[in-house]
Chains A and B, each alone.
Chain A
Amino acid sequence: MKTQTIIQEATAWFNQRGWQPFPFQKQTWKAWLEGKNGLLNAPTGSGKTFALWVPIALSLKHHTTSKSAKSGVKAIWITPLRALSLEIAQASKAFAEEMEIDLQVGIRTGDTSTKERAAQRKKMPDLLITTPESLHLLLASKDFKKHFRNCKAIVADEWHELLGSKRGVQTELAISRLKSLCPELRIWGISATIGNIEQAREVLLGPGSESLRNSVLIRAKIQKKIQVHSIIPDTMEKFPWRGHLGIHLLDEVIPILRGSRSTLLFTNTRSQCEIWFQAILAKYPEFAGEIAMHHGSIDKKTRLWVEEAIRHDRLKAVVCTSSLDLGVDFAPVETIIQIGGPKGVARFLQRAGRSGHQPGKNSTIYFLPTHAIELIEASALKKAVKEKAVEDRMPYLLCFDVLIQYLTTLAVAEGFYPKEIYPEIRSTFCFQGITDDQWQWVLNFITMGSQSLREYDEYRKVEVMDDGKFKVNSRGIAMRHRLSVGTIVSDAVLTVKYLKGGYLGHIEEWFISKLQPGDVFTFAGRNLELFRIKQMQVLVKRSKKKNAKVPSWMGGRMSFSSQMSALLRDELYLAGKDHIPSKSKELKALAPVFERQQKESIVPGPEEFLIETFKTREGYHVIFYPFEGRFVHEAMGSLLAYRISLLQPISFSLAFNDYGFELLSDQPVDIEQVVDNNLFSTAYLHDDLHKSLNATEMARRKFRDIAVISGLVFQGYPDKQLKSKHLQSSSQLFFNVFKDFEPDNLLYLQAYRETFEHSLEEGRLAQALERIEKQEIVWKCCEKPTPFSFPIITDRLREKLSSEKLSDRIRKMQLQLEK
C-alpha cells in the first residue's frame, strides 16, 4: 500500500474524532513509511505517541504476509518510567481496536506479574512496552532470537531522560543487538527540547552508522505561552536568609490553590514534599481529602490512584517531586508551583508545561523562593524562559560497568562469541572509543575476575566453552545476575510495612539505620513509629506523636546548569548597580538584603571576584563566590583547599551551594598568599584535582553504582536476605581493595572518570577559572557572616580535606560520648 493512502487513512481517523493531525505528526508518518529512522523533538503531551504508533500499526496491518513473519514482537516501545507504560498501552490499544488492526499490546516491566511473563513467553505481544532494564532481561532469555527476529520498530520514548543516564547506555546496547538481529528494524527516539538534540540523534542511531545516514530530525513547532510569576512576601523581614523549605510562604500559596482548578506543587526532594504536605494540612485542615502527595518512594498503587484522581478532577492540589515531571497530560491542572530553585531551565519548562492543557490556555507557573537570595534565581528563570536557554544532556562514554553487565546478560542467555559482539559494541556511541586492550580486559574480567589467574583461585562467573563461546553455566550466578539487572539506579532500599501488614513504600537504608526502635518518623504523609527492622523490611506502627523525623533522600541535590549560572550572574551584576530601570520586581524586593550585603561586604560586579573572611565560634570561614553552580563549586572548593594545604598543614571542611563555597578551618587562611600564589590557575588542574582528597571521596561514591551494575556487589535476594548474607559486602570495601591492590582496574578508573566528567564538570571548572583569572579579586574581611554567606555556612553536609597528619588531627578531636 502506498504511503499516501496510509496517511489518508490515519488523517481520516483523526478527523472522525474531531482532531487535526499536527504537521509534525504527518511529517513523522511520512518519514516512517519511507523507511527512515529518526528523532522526533516534541514536548510531553503533544500527541507524540500517535506520531509514531499510527504508522507502525498501519504498516503492520498492510504488510504482514507470511505466517512465520507473524510471530513474535513487531515493535518495542522503551519508556523510562514504568508509570508511563500504562498510558502508552491504553492509547495504542485504543487506536488498534478502532482501526480494526489485530495487534496485541503488552507491557513488560518490573511490575509485570509472573503469570503474565509466562504467558508472554508462550506468545509475545506485537507491541511490547518496556523499560531498558526489562528489555535487557529479555535479552537474557533463551528464546530471545525467536521472539525478536521479526521486530520492525524500536521507539525510545523520553529519550532526553535516558540520554544522560546509564539506562541510555543500556538502550544503546540493546539497539546494537537488535540491529544485527532484525534486518528491517527502524529506530526512532522521542525527545523534549535539549541543547544537544543533534547529538541525541547520533547517540540513538550510532555514530557514523548507516542508520544515522538514513535518518531525519523532526521538530514539533508547538509554542505554548508560559507565564512565570514569583511569590514575593510583603516584607523582606519575614524572609529567611537561609533554608530550603519555603514553608514561611505557605499562606501566600493558599490563595493560589483556591483560585486554580487543580495545582501541582513541585518540590526538589522527597523530604520537602512530605513536609509541605503535612504543613498544608496542619494549618488548613479544610484541604483534607482534597490534596495528595506523590513521590518516588510511595507505594505504586497509591501513586496510580493519585494520578487517576488528578485526571478525573478529584484533587485540588498534589505536592510532588520529579516523579510527576514526565507522563501523560493531566487536563485539569491549571497551575504549577515550583518550590525552591528548579536548578535548570529545561526542568522548569518541563514542569511549567504540565499545566494549561485545555485548548487556548497558557501554562502558568509560580516560583516560590525558599530563601532571599533565591529570588535572584526567580528573576533569572524568567529571562531563561523568554530566551529558551535549555541545557545539554551529556551522554555517558565507556561505561565498563554497563558493558560487563550486558556481556554477562548475553552469557546467561545463549552465550556469545566475542568476535560477533565486539563490532556491535563498537558501533554504539558509548563504546565508539573502546580499545582492543580494554575489550580484552573486560573479557578477562568476566572470565577470570582479573587480569591474571592466581594459585588457589576458584573464580567462576562466565566460562569459555571449547568452541570459544562465552557462557554462564552456574544457575546461582545466572539467577543473581538476573536479579541485579534491574538495579541500575540504587541505594539499598527497605520496604516499609505496617506491623499488621499493609505495604507503605520503600525507604533508603541509610536513613532508617539512624533510627532506633520507638523513634517516630514521617513517611507517606503519616507519622510512624519504628517497631523493628526485620531482614529487608521496616515494620512500623502508626504514631500520634507530633515531633517526627523526616527522612531525607539522597539525590535531592542538583546543580545549576552552565546556562542557568550565566543568567544568574547577569541578574546579580544587575542587582549590584543602583539605578537600573530594567530591574525586575524580584530584584527590587531584594533591595534590603543587597543593602545589608553592600554594607558588610560588597555585591560583586562583572569585573570582580568576591572572597569574604570572618571568624565565628566554629572557626575561620573563607567564602568564595564564583556563582557557577554546586558541582563546579564542589570541585573548585576541593581544588583550592588542596592548593592551600600545600602551603601549610591545615584541615578544612567544605560546604557549597549554587552561589559559592566555603572553606572552614580551625586556623586562619592567609588570603594574600592565595592571591600571590595564583591558586586559581588552570595549570596542573587535572593533576591537582586528582590529588585533592575530595576527588577520591567523590569517586568512592560514584563507585557504589558501578559496583552494583557490574555485579561486584550483590544486593541480596528479595525474600531471602539471610542466605545471601555471606555474599553481601559494601562497595566501599571493594573501592579500597582496588585502590590498594588493582589501581589499574577499569571499573575503579571509571569511578574517577565519571567524577571528573559528570560530577566535577572539569570542563566547566576550567572555564570558570579562566573567567576568574580575568576578574579582580576583592577580599573583604568581615565582622560577621554576610547575607550572601549565610545559606552556605549553615550547610551541614560537608566534605573534608586535610594535609595534617592523622595523629595531629586526632589529638585535636573529641570522642562523641553517649549522652
Chain B
Amino acid sequence: MQVSELKIKGDHFILHPYGSAFWKERSTLLVADVHLGKAAHFRKNGMAVPTGTMFRAYEKIDTLIRKFNPDTLCFLGDLFHSSPNNEWDLFADWTTHIESDIVLIKGNHDLIPEHRLESLGIHIRDSWDLPPFYLTHEPNEDGDTFNICGHIHPGVRLRGPGRQSLRLPCFFKKEHQLILPAFGEFTGKHVLSPQATDQVYAVTPEEVLLVSG
C-alpha cells in the first residue's frame, strides 16, 4: 500500500489508505469516526448486518499499530456509534493487548459513560491542545492553531475526460485544518467542494493520492 506524506507547520504526517494519519514527531496514530458497534446496534434491532463487519475495524488498527508502532493511539471522536451493547466487551478485550496510550477526544456519538472508558485506561478529552496543533472531533476554526479533526466523513468528487466521474473518501486539508476520513467500514461520506487553496488527498484501497484542482 502506498502512503502519502504531508508536512504541516514543520511536522510530518503519513496518510495511510486505511484512512488514518500517523504523526511522526509525536508518534501518534490519528483515527477518526470508527463508529464501533454500529453493526451490533443494527443487529440488536433486528437488522441483519453480517457479523464479519464487527471485527474489521480492530484488524485494521492492529495492522496500523504493527506498521507505525505509535506511542499514542488517538481517536478523534465517534469511537462508538451509540449506547453500549455487546460490542463493548469486544472492545474491552481488544484494548488489553494494545500497548500504546489510548486517547479519545469525545464526539457527538460517544454515549459510553466516561468511567467505563477510563477503567480501560483510556484518557478522555473534549479537545487536545498540542501547539501549534489543536485536535478536536468537530471542525474548529477559531484560534490561530492548526486544527486536526474528523466528524465530517469527507469525500470528494472527481471528473475526467470522456464523462468519467468518481467519488472517493479523502483527507481534506484547508489552510488551517486537516479533516480525516471516517475509519469505520459502515459509514457514509459527505462530498465537499474544495476551494482553490485546499488540498485534497483521495483515498483508494491501494493508496493515498494528492489530487489537483
Residues of A within 8 A of B (CB): 445, 449-450, 452, 454, 456-461, 474, 476-477, 480-481, 618-620, 651-653, 664-666, 711-714, 726-727, 729-730, 732-734, 737-738, 740-742, 745, 798, 800, 802, 806-807, 809-818
Contacting A at CB under 8 A, from B172-213, are 185-188, 193-196, 200, 202, 204-207, 209, 211-213
Q: Which residue of the partner chain A has the closest CB to B195?
A: A818
Known contacts A817-B194, A817-B195, A818-B193; A449 and B162 CB within 8 A of each other? no
Q: Identify which of B53, B90, B161, B194 gathers the most chain A CB atoms within 10 Å of its CB.
A: B161
Contact (Cβ within 8 A) B40 A727: no
Could you tell me the distance in whole angstroms from the C-beta of A144 to the nearest C-beta in chain B? 22
Q: Identify which of B160, B164, B193, B205 gathers the most chain A CB atoms within 10 Å of its CB.
A: B164
Instruction: Please give, as numbers and ranges, the residues of chain A lying within 8 Å of B200 by CB-CB distance.
Output: 815
Known contacts A815-B213, A816-B193; A456 and B86 CB within 8 A of each other? yes
Instruction: Please give, as numbers and ranges, the residues of chain A lying within 8 Å of B207 by CB-CB distance.
Output: 807
Contact (Cβ within 8 A) A737 B46: no
Kindly state whether residue B96 has any CB partner on chain A within 8 Å.
no
Contact (Cβ within 8 A) B46 A810: no
Instruction: Please give, as numbers and ranges, the residues of chain B lying within 8 Å of A817 by CB-CB distance.
Output: 193-196, 213
Q: Please tell me which stretch of B63-71, B97-105, B127-135, B151-159 contacts chain A, meaning at least 4 of its Cβ atoms lie within 8 angstroms of it.
A: B151-159
CB<8 Å pairs between A and B, sample of 27: A449-B48, A449-B49, A456-B54, A458-B40, A458-B85, A461-B48, A651-B162, A653-B164, A664-B163, A665-B162, A666-B162, A711-B47, A727-B42, A729-B38, A733-B186, A737-B186, A738-B50, A740-B52, A741-B52, A809-B160, A810-B158, A812-B161, A815-B158, A816-B157, A817-B193, A817-B195, A817-B213
Instruction: Please give, as numbers and ranges, the residues of chain B lying within 8 Å of A454 by CB-CB distance.
Output: 51, 54
Instruction: Please give, as numbers and ranges, the residues of chain A lying within 8 Å of B95 by CB-CB distance.
Output: none
Residues of B within 8 A of A (CB): 38-54, 81-82, 85-87, 89-90, 156-166, 168, 185-188, 193-196, 200, 202, 204-207, 209, 211-213
Contact (Cβ within 8 A) B166 A449: no
Known contacts A809-B166, A816-B159, A818-B195; A726 and B47 CB within 8 A of each other? no
Instruction: Please give, as numbers and ranges, the residues of chain A lying within 8 Å of B40 by CB-CB distance.
Output: 456-458
Q: How far is the CA of A299 from the CA of B196 in the complex (A)?
A: 44
Contact (Cβ within 8 A) B211 A459: no
Q: Which residue of the partner chain B has the closest CB to A452?
A: B51
Known contacts A454-B54, A726-B41, A807-B207; A814 and B47 CB within 8 A of each other? no
Instruction: Please give, as numbers and ranges, the residues of chain B lying within 8 Å of A458 by CB-CB distance.
Output: 40, 43-44, 85-86
Choose one: B38, B164, B195, B206; the contact of A651 (CB below 8 Å): B164
Contact (Cβ within 8 A) B89 A810: no
Contact (Cβ within 8 A) A712 B206: no
Known contacts A458-B44, A618-B162, A815-B213; A742 and B50 CB within 8 A of each other? yes
Contact (Cβ within 8 A) B46 A460: yes
Q: How far is the CA of A618 from the CA of B163 in the complex (A)?
A: 7
Known contacts A456-B54, A812-B161; A449 and B43 CB within 8 A of each other? yes
Known contacts A742-B52, A813-B166, A815-B211; A477 and B45 CB within 8 A of each other? yes
Q: How far is the CA of A522 from the CA of B209 in the complex (A)?
A: 41
Q: How far is the CA of A651 from the CA of B81 in the complex (A)?
A: 38
Contact (Cβ within 8 A) B44 A459: yes
Instruction: Please give, as numbers and ranges, the residues of chain A lying within 8 Å of B211 by CB-CB distance.
Output: 810, 813, 815
Q: Which residue of the partner chain B has the closest CB to A733?
A: B186
Instruction: Please give, as numbers and ranges, the residues of chain B lying within 8 Å of A806 by CB-CB distance.
Output: 166, 204-206
Contact (Cβ within 8 A) B81 A745: no
Contact (Cβ within 8 A) A737 B53: yes
Q: Count A-B contacts at CB 8 Å.
A: 165
Instruction: Please give, as numbers and ranges, the residues of chain B lying within 8 Å of A818 by CB-CB distance.
Output: 193-195
Q: How far is the CA of A456 from the CA of B92 in the complex (A)?
A: 12
Instruction: Please give, as numbers and ranges, the residues of chain A lying within 8 Å of B204 by CB-CB distance.
Output: 806-807, 810
Could you tell me the distance in whole angstroms from the C-beta of B19 to the nearest C-beta in chain A? 15
Contact (Cβ within 8 A) B162 A456: no
Known contacts A459-B44, A618-B162, A798-B163; A734 and B49 CB within 8 A of each other? yes
Known contacts A727-B42, A737-B185, A815-B194; A810 and B166 CB within 8 A of each other? yes
Could you tell me the distance in whole angstroms from the C-beta of A662 to the nearest C-beta in chain B? 10
Instruction: Please give, as numbers and ranges, the residues of chain B lying within 8 Å of A810 by CB-CB distance.
Output: 158, 166, 168, 202, 204, 209, 211
Contact (Cβ within 8 A) A712 B47: yes
Q: Which residue of the partner chain B has the closest CB to A793?
A: B163
Q: How far is the CA of A180 from the CA of B47 in the complex (A)?
A: 31
Instruction: Please give, as numbers and ranges, the residues of chain B lying within 8 Å of A474 by CB-CB distance.
Output: 46
Contact (Cβ within 8 A) B46 A456: no
Contact (Cβ within 8 A) B163 A653: yes
Known contacts A459-B43, A727-B42, A807-B209; A737 and B158 CB within 8 A of each other? no
Q: How far is the CA of A169 from the CA of B117 in the complex (A)?
A: 50
Contact (Cβ within 8 A) B50 A745: yes
Instruction: Please give, as numbers and ranges, the residues of chain A lying within 8 Å of B159 by CB-CB distance.
Output: 813-814, 816
Q: How far is the CA of A734 from the CA of B53 in the complex (A)?
A: 10
Instruction: Please give, as numbers and ranges, the residues of chain A lying within 8 Å of B81 by CB-CB distance.
Output: 726
Could you tell me the distance in whole angstroms from the C-beta of A231 to the nearest C-beta in chain B? 33
Instruction: Please give, as numbers and ranges, the residues of chain A lying within 8 Å of B39 by CB-CB distance.
Output: 737
Q: How far is the CA of A740 from the CA of B39 in the complex (A)?
A: 14
Contact (Cβ within 8 A) A814 B162: no
Could you tell me the distance in whole angstroms from the C-beta of A177 to the nearest C-beta in chain B? 22
Contact (Cβ within 8 A) A652 B158: no
Q: Which residue of the partner chain A has the closest CB to B87?
A: A456
Contact (Cβ within 8 A) B49 A807: no
Q: Which residue of the partner chain B has the closest CB to A459?
A: B43
Q: Identify which of B81, B89, B163, B168 gathers the most chain A CB atoms within 10 Å of its CB.
A: B163
Instruction: Please give, as numbers and ranges, the residues of chain B lying within 8 Å of A807 by CB-CB distance.
Output: 204, 206-207, 209
Choose one: A457, A481, A618, A738; the contact of B43 (CB below 8 Å): A457
Instruction: Please give, as numbers and ranges, the residues of chain B lying within 8 Å of A666 by CB-CB distance.
Output: 160-162, 164
Contact (Cβ within 8 A) B164 A800: yes
Instruction: Please give, as numbers and ranges, the residues of chain B lying within 8 Å of A481 by CB-CB distance.
Output: 46
Known contacts A814-B213, A816-B159; A800 and B165 CB within 8 A of each other? yes
Instruction: Please give, as numbers and ranges, the residues of chain A lying within 8 Å of B196 by CB-CB distance.
Output: 817
Contact (Cβ within 8 A) B186 A812: no
Contact (Cβ within 8 A) A816 B160: no
Choose one: B51, B82, B158, B168; the contact of A814 (CB below 8 Å): B158
Q: How far is the CA of A474 from the CA of B51 in the complex (A)?
A: 21
Contact (Cβ within 8 A) B50 A737: yes
Contact (Cβ within 8 A) B49 A737: yes
Q: Which residue of the partner chain B has the closest CB to A664?
A: B162
Instruction: Please give, as numbers and ranges, the residues of chain A lying within 8 Å of B212 by CB-CB distance.
Output: 814-815
Q: Which residue of the partner chain B has the closest CB to A663?
A: B162
Could you tell me the distance in whole angstroms from the C-beta of B107 to the nearest C-beta in chain A? 14
Q: Which residue of the partner chain B has the closest CB to A448?
A: B48
Could you tell me the distance in whole angstroms from the C-beta of B46 to the nearest C-beta in chain A? 4
Instruction: Please give, as numbers and ranges, the residues of chain B lying within 8 Å of A737 by CB-CB distance.
Output: 39, 49-50, 52-53, 185-186
Instruction: Please give, as numbers and ranges, the residues of chain B lying within 8 Å of A729 by CB-CB distance.
Output: 38, 42, 47, 186
Contact (Cβ within 8 A) B46 A711: yes
Could you tell me the distance in whole angstroms from the C-beta of B164 to the nearest C-beta in chain A? 5
Q: Which residue of the partner chain A has the closest CB to B93?
A: A456
Q: How far is the CA of A665 from the CA of B162 in the complex (A)?
A: 5
